[in-house]
Structure 1
Amino acid sequence: MPNNICRTSCILLLFILFSFTGAAQRPDVSFTSSDKNLEKAFAWAKGMALRYKGNNSDAVGPWYEAALPSRYAFCMRDVSHQCIGAGILGLSRENYNMIGLFARNISAAKDWCSYWEINKWGKAAPEDYRNDREFWYNLPANFDVLYASWRLYLWTGDKRYINDSALVNFQQKTAREYIDRWVLAADSLLTRPIHPNKAIPFNEKDAFSTCRGLPSYSEGIPKLKSGIDLVAGLYRGLLTYSDILACKGLKKEAAYYARKAETYRRRIESDWWDAQAGQYNTLYGDSGKFAKDPGETFLVWFDALRDTTRLKKTVAHMAANYANIENTSYYPYLFYKNGLWDEARKCILYLSDPATPRREYPEVSFSVVEGIVQGLMGVSPDARTGTISTVFRMNGDGSAVIKHLPVLNSNIDLSHLSNRQSALSNDGKQALKWKAMFYGDYRKAYANGILYQLKKETDETGNKISYAIIVIKPGTTADVRVER
């Protein structure tokens, strides 16, 4: 009898523990589709990306690899690109820790740079850093990280990304002292010195001297004054800072930085467009000549183009010219967002193909996850209004479902049953506003049998979208179908 009591008690205890664990942990995100090749690509990308999750007991804290895997490290550009894919996969603690480390490690001694790359031991990676006067650094990085922190706020609703004291300091120093120290005023980009903060003595044969403040993500180009990715980053970084200030009610300051950002966007159009080639120049050297390389990707990544014709030409040129794997990993989401849906699908299948060289580079798998969720499924949250926008970007009569997606401190299931019908379930604890969008000119929508009059807008490339905004209470589902 005592043995039976003990056995029953143990079973009951295990049941309680199992129930508690199950309630505390959300299920992993999953993706299914009528397009089985995309479904297979997502499964591969999810599995590969999660392999790069670091050990929480590592000295650096929660992290994932975002650099060459052999370094056990993460760099500013890669994290800025991988962070939304990481958030989709539940790596929110990692994102916040890594972004925070970049913010906390800027300093006047480094001319308001941070550590370009940090390893799992919590140190500046020795491959890129010797001391505060001798290190490798790409100048677009501060603006990329600033933009990433804003996108993570919009995605998660975590206000620490805009209010944490270290991040506030990073925002301020990036928008002010960093620009001044590196001679990055809008009217100085083509005349600035190549090495404005060089160490003395300066060693032309030492990369830690010549690459301390590279004015582009394009590397290995001697005597470079400016890259278009830096100009686009300046635009987006200052506009991001304006958005953050506006979010805090600082309207006057926000307007100032929005105007300042606009001066860089205008420079892109006036100084960098090559009318004869129908393409943007991307590099400007000490010789006074422009050149071209795949840096145009960052014009689209930083959403710096307002001329629809030039934007379409730029994206088409990207689609026709796959570059290195790092650059190509940006393409799926950008192609979906800018109307090249078939090219986006093609790129996802290319990146996930076992025959593709270097597909194991961490950035690739995270970008495939982002491309499918933000690109194909069109998920775009905005913490400022508590709104989740969605739009299905699949040609034909296909369907797709994403389940257990962490967004806005909630958990949602999203089903695109066709290009005219979608459903969203809110498994969180707060109401959400769903902006259910559909490509095309529709007159009305039915959500759970209730008639909605549709509103209209256009996307980045001028395509018409019809949408309705529906409030979804916790634990409920809305099913929306549009009609002409």
Structure 2
Amino acid sequence: MKNHLLALWITCCSIAAQAQGPTFTTTDTAMQQASNWAFQMVQHYRGNPADPIGPWYEAALPSRNAFCMRDVAHQTIGASICGLDKENRNMLTAFARNIAASRDWCSFWEINKYGKPAPEDYRNDKEFWYNLNANFDIIFACWKLYNWTGDKRYIEEPVFVNFFEKTVQEYIHQWTLQADSLLTRPLHPNAPASFNNADYFHRCRGLASYVENVPDLKAGVDLIATIYRGLLSYSSILSLQGNTTKAALYKQMAEHYREKIDQNWWNEKAARYYTWYDGAGQFGTGEGEMFLLWFDALKDTARSRHTITHLVSNPWNVETTSYLPVILYKQGYWQKAADYILQLADKATPRREYPEVSFGVVEGIVSGLMGVEPDASHQRITTLYRGATGNNTTLDGLRVLNTTIMVNHADKKTIFHNKGKQPLLWRAAFAGNYDKIILHKTARRASHRKDNSGNMISYIDVKVEAGEKVEADVN
């Protein structure tokens, strides 16, 4: 009986630990403190699965007990890292399920724990708040979660397929979001007959940006970047499913939006992108350019660097700042990314309790600092340490691609342990230009790529069997 109870206790502890996410340890004491705070805060925002909505976490102003589309789209990877996969699935399904013709193919912008549209943002199907980026951001989130978890339901379940198809067809048409119409579209394409500009449920029913403080906004550059990434994600989904003809069509369509950004939105004199275009036919600048990088919509490296320089040279609200760690790590600005993590986790930072902050820090540490990038279509996990030399850093118990891994980075050496029950491909990457990478004391010829800042990355691909531990180094 005692042995049975002991086994049951061990099992329960194992399940609880998995639900809490991985453990992160590092000799960098400041980063350790930041990670401790962030991982704990993510768990703090986990909702009660017995609530009417089902499993959920806060992704809006905490006082609302709700989650909105932009915040969820941003928080999903941090949530998955911390074991909130049931929450991700349930919340994204709720958004997808509620797309409706009566709302001109919008969903509910914000849903509360009671499973209802949050009254702060919804009165009825003709009067509600909605940012038009949202549908495309959710498509991107589904694609990212498929690649992170390997869960095909995000891209194959009928509720999501319907959401994707209605968004890339009816939604674009209904809101006049064709690439060639963005500067000529009406301010309020689906305004009710009794339109009242003083009523923000009328005025903001279809905001053409995530930036909400520009009057008479016709289009935001962030909307174009979001459409581009949403369509490109949809193209990738179609390609994975073997629909190559349709995939090519939407890839071309996505590229048309991206080209518009460089053709119409670059301010040569200021060496930065305009961020909004209003009903008076005027371009202007403000918030929003961060999304050009988040959605990887910039292919001109010089303009990309100008954009980053402007971003890191100015203060932003905490929501915008929470995106920057992952962006800057992947763009090659590693020290600045680490600085933002420490800033966001600092108790002196105003509004650091906003849910996006802790989720963004978690993703910044795991996907940014540790360089963990899963690719479900190739059953491959890349690792790349982007931290300072001299530190010993370990991520253990990370659930990813239907398996569990441990990654240890130390002194140009990485140890990768596949703790799961299925083999996978490990792409062992190192910063620098190395001819060879040592694997099990045997030199293997390295392949190379450059990050967006031109930094050379050397890597090899290694098949790692279930339960196998592999070591690679460049010493």
TM range (shorter): over 0.9
Query: Percentage identity across aligned positions?
Result: 51
Shift of residue 26 of structure 1? 4.8
Deviates more, 1:86-95 or 1:396-405: 396-405
Rounded to whole Å, the distance in 2 between the matches of 1:292 and 1:396 is 38
Partner residue in 2 for 1:436: 428
Equivalent AA in structure 1 for residue 295 of structure 2 = F
1:134-149 to 2 correspondences below 5 Å: 134-149=127-142
Is 1:164 the equivalent of 2:157? yes
2: CA distance, partners of 1:396 / 1:385: 30
CA distance in 1, matches of 2:60, 2:41: 14
Matching residue within 173, 186, 190 for 2:179: 186
Report the counterpart of residue 426 of structure 1 in structure 2: 418
User: Partner of 2:298 in structure 1?
Assistant: 305
Does 1:384 find its partner at 2:377? yes
Which residue does the alignment assign to 1:359? 352
Aligned amino acid, residue 259 of structure 1: Q
Match of 1:337 in 2: 330
The alignment partner of 2:118 has SS state of coil
SS at match of 1:295: coil
Tell me, yes or no, if structure 1 residue 196 matches structure 2 residue 189. yes
Alignment of 1:77-88 (within 5 A): 77-88=70-81
Match of 2:452 in 1: 460
C-alpha offsets along residues 426-454 of structure 1, whole Å, 9 cap, x if unaligned? Answer: 01111010001111110111212233111
Matched, 1:18 2:20: no
The 5-angstrom pairing of residues 27-66 of structure 1 reads: 27=18, 28-66=21-59
- Matches of 1:126 and 1:181 in 2, distance apart? 24
Q: Is residue 245–residue 253 contact of structure 1 (8 Å, CA) maintained in 2?
A: yes
- On the 8 A contact 1:308/1:462 being kept in 2, the answer is no
Residue from 114, 119, 128 that aligns with 1:126: 119
CA distances 1:189-248 after superposition (whole Å, capped 9, x unpaired): 011000000112111111100000000011132111000010001110110110000000
Amino acid at match of 2:183: L
Give a deviation string over 1:284-311, Cα, whole Å, max 9, x none: 0011111111200000011100011111
Counterpart of 1:471 in structure 2: which amino acid? Answer: K
Report how far residue 396 of structure 1 moved: 3.1
2:217 to 224, 227, 232: 224
> What does residue range 279-318 of structure 1 map to in structure 2 within 5 Å?
279-318=272-311
Aligned to 2:66: 73
Q: Structure 2: where are the runs of 5+ without partners?
A: none
Asked if residue 396 in structure 1 is aligned to residue 396 in structure 2, the reply is no
For 1:386 and 1:74, the matched residues in 2 are separated by: 31
TM-score, normalised to structure 2, is 0.98
Rounded to whole Å, the distance in 2 between the matches of 1:404 and 1:155 is 15
Moved more, 395-404 or 128-137: 395-404
- Preserved contact between residue 472 and residue 478 of structure 1 (Cα < 8 Å): yes
Q: 1:270 corresponds to which letter in structure 2?
A: Q
Larger Rg: 1
How far, CA to CA, are the matches of 2:441 and 2:466 in structure 1?
19
How much does 1:462 deviate?
2.0
Give how far 1:458 is off.
Answer: 1.2
Q: What amino acid sits opposite 2:375 in the alignment?
A: D
> Are 1:235 and 1:261, in contact at CA under 8 Å, matched by a contact in 2?
yes
Runs of 4+ aligned residues of structure 1 deviating over 2 Å after TM superposition are: 19-28, 395-399
Question: Residues 161-186 of structure 1, C-alpha deviation per residue, up to 9 Å, x if partnerless?
Answer: 00010000011111111111000011
SS at structure 1 position matched to 2:254: helix
Verify the 8 A CA contact 1:109 1:132 in the aligned structure 2: yes
- Whole-Å separation in 2 of the counterparts to 1:38 and 1:137: 37
Q: How many equivalent residue pairs?
A: 473
Corresponding residue to 2:255 among 239, 242, 262: 262
The CA distance in 2 between the partners of 1:290 and 1:23, in whole Å, is 55
Partner of 2:271: 278
Q: Deviations over 1:120-168 (max 9, x none)?
A: 0000000000110000000001111110010000000000000010000
Partners of 2:131 and 2:15 lie apart in 1 by 41
CA displacement at 1:23 relative to structure 2? 5.2
Contact 1:29–1:89 (CA under 8 A) maintained in structure 2: yes
Give secondary structure in 2 for the equivalent of 1:187. Answer: helix
- Are residues 1:96 and 2:89 paired? yes
Kindly tell me: are residues 361 and 25 of structure 1, through their superposed partners in 2, closer, same or farther at Cα, counting changes over 3 Å?
Answer: closer
State the distance in 1 between where 2:390 and 2:283 align.
45
Find the aligned partners of 2:227 and 2:13 in 1 and give their Cα distance: 45
When structure 1 is superposed on structure 2, of 26-35 and 186-195 the one drifting more is 26-35
Query: What is the one-letter code of the residue matched to 1:168?
Result: V
Q: Does 1:116 align with 2:104?
A: no
- For 1:3, the equivalent position in structure 2 comes to none
Q: What amino acid sits opposite 2:274 in the alignment?
A: N
In structure 1, distance between residues paired with 2:467 and 2:111: 41
CA distance in 2, matches of 1:293, 1:222: 12
Aligned-pair distance for 1:25?
A: 5.1
CA deviation digits over 1:387-435, x for unaligned, max 9? Answer: 00111112333231111111101110001112x2111100111101000
Which stretch shows the higher mean deviation, 146-155 or 309-318? 309-318
Q: Tell me how far apart the structure 1 counterparts of residues 231 and 14 of structure 2 sit (CA, whole Å).
A: 42
Q: What letter corresponds to residue 232 of structure 2 in structure 1?
A: L
Q: CA deviation at 1:316?
A: 1.6
- TM-score normalised to structure 1 length: 0.96
Give 3-state SS (helix, strand or coil) of 1:389's partner.
strand
